[in-house]
């Protein structure tokens, strides 16, 4: 019978290292967290060969006393927690007391440190088990790791190419730099200085790391609800890309990957992203430490919320309200990145942003006569286009124009051209009307108030036996959606009424699309899980079609409805509905002032 034996301490540490030290970036993350917890204001990172040969962290933190250097290298030794209550209210980045011991078991580790106010710095090499030696060092610490996995060659074989390992290390530095814009951070690799970040405000640090393009294309978020605070930026849907690595989410200053938050992100962007595009965000969540468990995984990149549903709803609604504002980034005031003018999104103890959302654009009223024309056109936008029209209300001063301006022309029956205070606005009229109808249908269905429009002559179309059976079995559910469809023969169906919002659409095409969805998914899914997809399909078929000539009042009515509609910047498929060309851009095209 095999005997049970206690494992040697070194082997225990090496097993623990397998959880903490996955690659050089894992070591770098742990060491950087220690430097930040030590109150450092300047950190220098030196790497060689992607961090495999050397990782050296130099900081100006509080330092470690001579008599505690050896203790810092032992397992489960930490200054950050001392009781269960401390563990349940963790506010530091590192706290488990395993990192240095784990690193020392798979690499050559040394620490040189000098406490603030101490007369001497001391250095200790982990592998020698000797007494600390005097060292020349200003206040702070230098932690040096050399030859990762030198004593466990099997693990070293799993490391990737130098460039790959360096990329992971650089990403670790950038993530931590995002949380602490007040700390100066530099990164050197193989003697080349590749990153130099001076202390800055949050927006400037985000721009330095994620790029000015991200900041210019993102929407700002500041909101609070009870113990939850959220600040940061979320990409405007129009500018989203297919990159899957653009999500930076921090909880109490800690970078996390959390399924609850990721799902809330996907749901918030569901109606506004085109194709396989992904939402890029940089979000800082502040929460009472007692309401989140950060002791879920040794790498500390996973957390568990005491009330996951509340967190999901908070993130979802905050993002949804931000995206529902139908202004694109181009119509926002430009984001300032000066220290004096920008809020700090780092979730410090005194960080308590307030909710700043606007339900609509606050449309400026035009002249009375024009307003009446717009109102009449808004009611008749879904009716057949008039064959002729009188000369219209187009000479408004651009300074008095509402956000999307006043229509001046229609281009190829597809685009509406309008003039606003900033320049030229171009609108895809079908995509814009599609979003308007979609949002109206959602609201009407939620309130069980879908108005119907009876057809004087039923729209008759050919149908097979399964189509007819689907209609007969679900006639009440179809009526709830505003449709009255009935068999008119053994191989025919007729549309007798349809939602009034869709009266300008093709009744036959609408009915065929609805029946196809009904046969594929069943009525239960259509009114629950796939409800919005169904309404989006209906809106697409009911929206004003390309090549239809609109009068100026109709075009202006479309613009005013866009300004009053949530998420009007994108159609139901995530395509942009409008764009803006400022006068400055137009001047560049024609070299004005040059």
Same domain for 463 and 417: yes
Other residues' Cβ atoms within 10 Å of the Cβ of residue 319: 23
| One-letter-per-residue 3-state SS of 47-75 | EEHHHCCEEEEEECCCCCCHHHHHHHCCC
Closest CA to 560 of 388, 397, 427, 399: 427
The answer to whether position 341 is within a domain reads no
The answer to whether position 347 is within a domain reads no
Closest CA to 25 of 230, 193, 170, 231: 170
φ, ψ for residue 248, nearest 5 deg: -115, 110
Q: Is 134 exposed, middle or buried (0-12, 13-18, 19+ CB in 10 A)?
A: exposed
CA-CA distance, 343 to 223, in Å (whole number)?
12
DSSP H stretches of helix in 180-298: 202-210, 212-216, 259-268
Q: Is 148 exposed, middle or buried (0-12, 13-18, 19+ CB in 10 A)?
A: buried
Same domain for 562 and 527: yes
- For residue 105, give the CATH number of its domain: 3.30.565.10
CA-CA distance, 96 to 77, in Å (whole number)?
8
Same domain for 240 and 182: no
User: Do 427 and 415 form a contact (C-beta atoms < 8 A)?
Assistant: yes
Give me the residue label for tokens 């690799």: 189
Same domain for 273 and 249: yes
Q: What was the pLDDT predicted at 18?
A: 58
Other residues' Cβ atoms within 10 Å of the Cβ of residue 225: 13
Query: How many C-alpha atoms does 384 have within 13 Å on its Cβ side?
Result: 4
The gap from C-alpha 96 to its chain's centroid, in whole angstroms, comes to 30
Task: State the virtual CA torsion across 374, 378, 382, 387 in degrees, nearest 10.
Answer: -20
Same domain for 242 and 135: no
SS3 91: coil
Same domain for 443 and 528: yes
CA-CA distance, 424 to 426, in Å (whole number)?
7
User: Do 40 and 59 form a contact (C-beta atoms < 8 A)?
Assistant: yes
Query: What is the pTM (predicted TM-score) of this model?
Result: 0.70
Closest CA to 55 of 189, 159, 196, 152: 189
Q: What was the pLDDT predicted at 344?
A: 36
CA-CA distance, 441 to 498, in Å (whole number)?
12
Q: What was the pLDDT predicted at 507?
A: 92
DSSP characters over 10-21:
HHHHHHHHHHH-
Instruction: Please say which residue of 331, 353, 377 terminates a domain.
Output: 331
Token pair for 175: 């993530």
| One-letter-per-residue 3-state SS of 440-472 | HHHHHHHCCCCCEEEEEEEEEEECCHHHHHHHH
Same domain for 323 and 220: yes
CA-CA distance, 587 to 594, in Å (whole number)?
9
The answer to whether position 247 is within a domain reads yes
User: Do 429 and 411 form a contact (C-beta atoms < 8 A)?
Assistant: no
The answer to whether position 342 is within a domain reads no
Same domain for 206 and 188: no
Helices 202-210, 162-179: inter-axial angle, 10-degree rounding: 160
SS3 594: coil
pLDDT tens for the chain, 594 residues: list them. 677 777 776 676 666 665 568 899 999 998 999 999 899 999 999 999 999 999 999 999 999 989 888 888 887 777 666 666 666 666 677 666 678 888 888 899 999 999 988 889 999 998 877 889 999 898 899 999 999 999 888 888 888 999 999 999 999 999 999 999 999 999 999 999 999 999 999 999 999 999 998 998 899 999 998 888 999 999 988 888 877 778 999 999 889 988 899 999 988 988 888 777 888 999 999 998 888 887 676 667 788 888 889 999 999 999 988 988 765 543 333 333 333 333 333 333 332 222 222 222 233 333 333 333 433 444 444 444 443 343 347 445 555 779 999 999 999 999 999 999 999 999 999 999 999 999 999 899 888 888 999 999 999 999 999 999 999 999 988 998 899 999 998 899 999 999 999 988 889 999 998 898 888 888 888 877 788 888 888 888 888 887 888 999 999 999 999 999 988 998 888 888 999 999 999 999 998 887
Same domain for 185 and 76: yes
User: Do 328 and 580 form a contact (C-beta atoms < 8 A)?
Assistant: yes
Number of domain units in the chain: 3
Token pair for 250: 């921090």
User: Do 432 and 577 form a contact (C-beta atoms < 8 A)?
Assistant: yes
Handedness of CA 454, 457, 458, 459 (dihedral sign): negative
Same domain for 274 and 174: no
Instruction: Please say which residue of 287, 311, 331 terminates a domain.
Output: 331
CA-CA distance, 92 to 300, in Å (whole number)?
11
Same domain for 525 and 376: yes
The answer to whether position 353 is within a domain reads no
- For residue 305, give the CATH number of its domain: 3.30.230.10
Instruction: List CB contacts of 395: < 8 A, sequence separation 6 or more.
Output: none
Give me the residue label for tokens 């205070």: 421
- For residue 491, give the CATH number of its domain: 3.30.1370.100
φ, ψ for residue 526, nearest 5 deg: -65, -30
User: Do 155 and 22 form a contact (C-beta atoms < 8 A)?
Assistant: no
Same domain for 407 and 320: no
Token pair for 389: 């029209």
SS3 159: coil
φ, ψ for residue 115, nearest 5 deg: -65, 150
The answer to whether position 554 is within a domain reads yes
**Order of strands across the sheet with 184-189?**
133-135, 121-125, 108-114, 140-146, 54-59, 42-48, 184-189, 192-197
Give me the residue label for tokens 């979000």: 283
Contacts of the segment 381-386: beta carbons below 8 A, 24+ positions apart? 381/433, 381/504, 381/544, 381/554, 381/557, 381/558, 381/561, 382/500, 382/501, 382/502, 382/503, 382/504, 382/542, 382/544, 383/503, 383/504, 384/504, 385/548, 385/549, 385/550, 385/551, 385/554, 386/551
The answer to whether position 337 is within a domain reads no
- pLDDT, tens digit (0-9, with 9 covering 90-100), for 282-325: 999 999 888 888 767 666 778 888 888 999 999 999 998 898 87
Instruction: Please say which residue of 197, 222, 251 terminates a domain.
Output: 197
Q: What was the pLDDT predicted at 182?
A: 95
CA-CA distance, 495 to 427, in Å (whole number)?
32
The answer to whether position 388 is within a domain reads yes
Residue 317 domain boundaries: 202-331
Give me the residue label for tokens 């529902």: 324
């Amino acid at each position: 019978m095999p005997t049970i034996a206690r494992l040697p301490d070194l082997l225990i540490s090496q097993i623990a290292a397998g959880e903490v030290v996955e690659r050089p970036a894992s070591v770098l993350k742990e060491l950087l967290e220690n430097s930040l917890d030590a109150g450092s204001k300047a950190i220098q990172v030196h790497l060689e060969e992607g961090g495999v040969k050397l990782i050296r962290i130099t900081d100006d933190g509080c330092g470690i006393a001579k008599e505690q250097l050896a203790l810092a290298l032992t397992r489960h030794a930490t200054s950050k927690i001392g009781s269960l209550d401390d563990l349940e209210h963790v506010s530091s980045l590192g706290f488990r007391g395993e990192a240095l011991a784990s690193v020392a078991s798979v690499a050559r580790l040394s620490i040189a440190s000098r406490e603030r106010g101490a007369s001497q710095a001391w250095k200790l090499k982990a592998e020698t088990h000797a007494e600390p030696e005097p060292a020349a060092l200003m206040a702070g610490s230098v932690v040096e790791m050399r030859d990762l996995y030198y004593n466990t060659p099997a693990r070293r074989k799993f490391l990737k190419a130098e460039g790959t390992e360096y990329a992971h290390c650089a990403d670790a530095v950038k993530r931590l730099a995002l949380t602490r814009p007040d700390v100066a951070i530099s990164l050197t690799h193989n003697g080349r200085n590749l990153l130099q970040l001076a202390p800055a405000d949050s927006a400037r640090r985000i721009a330095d790391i994620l790029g000015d393009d991200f900041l210019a294309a993102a929407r700002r978020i500041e909101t609070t609800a009870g113990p939850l605070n959220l600040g940061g930026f979320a990409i405007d849907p129009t500018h989203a890309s297919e990159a899957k690595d653009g999500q930076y989410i921090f909880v109490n200053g800690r970078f996390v990957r959390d399924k609850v938050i990721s799902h809330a992100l996907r749901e918030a962007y569901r109606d506004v992203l085109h194709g396989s595009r992904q939402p890029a965000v940089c979000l800082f969540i502040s929460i009472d430490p007692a309401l989140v468990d950060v002791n879920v995984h040794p790498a500390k990149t996973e957390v568990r919320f005491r009330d996951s549903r509340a967190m999901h709803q908070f993130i979802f609604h905050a993002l949804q309200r931000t995206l529902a504002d139908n202004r694109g980034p181009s119509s926002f005031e430009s984001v300032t990145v000066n220290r004096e003018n920008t809020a700090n999104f780092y979730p410090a103890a005194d960080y308590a942003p307030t909710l700043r959302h606007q339900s609509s654009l606050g449309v400026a009223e035009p002249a009375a006569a024009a307003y009446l024309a717009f109102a009449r056109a808004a009611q008749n936008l879904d009716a057949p286009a008039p064959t002729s029209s009188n000369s219209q209300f187009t000479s408004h001063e651009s300074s008095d124009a509402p956000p999307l301006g006043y229509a001046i022309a229609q281009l190829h029956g597809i685009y509406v051209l309008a003039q606003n205070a900033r320049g030229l606005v171009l609108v895809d009229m079908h995509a814009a009307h599609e979003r308007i109808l979609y949002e109206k249908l959602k609201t009407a269905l939620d309130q069980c108030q879908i108005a119907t429009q009876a057809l004087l002559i039923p729209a008759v179309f050919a149908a097979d036996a399964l189509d007819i059976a689907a209609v007969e079995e679900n006639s009440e559910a179809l009526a709830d959606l505003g449709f009255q469809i009935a068999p008119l023969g053994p191989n025919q169906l007729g549309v007798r009424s349809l939602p009034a919002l869709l009266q300008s659409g093709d009744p036959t095409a609408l009915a065929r699309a609805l029946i196809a969805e009904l046969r594929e998914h069943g009525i239960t899914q259509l009114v629950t899980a796939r409800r919005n997809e169904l309404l989006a399909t209906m809106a697409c078929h009911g929206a004003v079609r390309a090549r239809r000539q609109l009068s100026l009042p109709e075009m202006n009515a479309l613009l005013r409805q866009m300004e009053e509609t949530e998420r009007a910047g994108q159609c139901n498929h995530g395509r942009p509905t409008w764009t803006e060309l400022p006068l400055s851009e137009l001047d560049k095209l024609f070299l004005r002032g040059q």
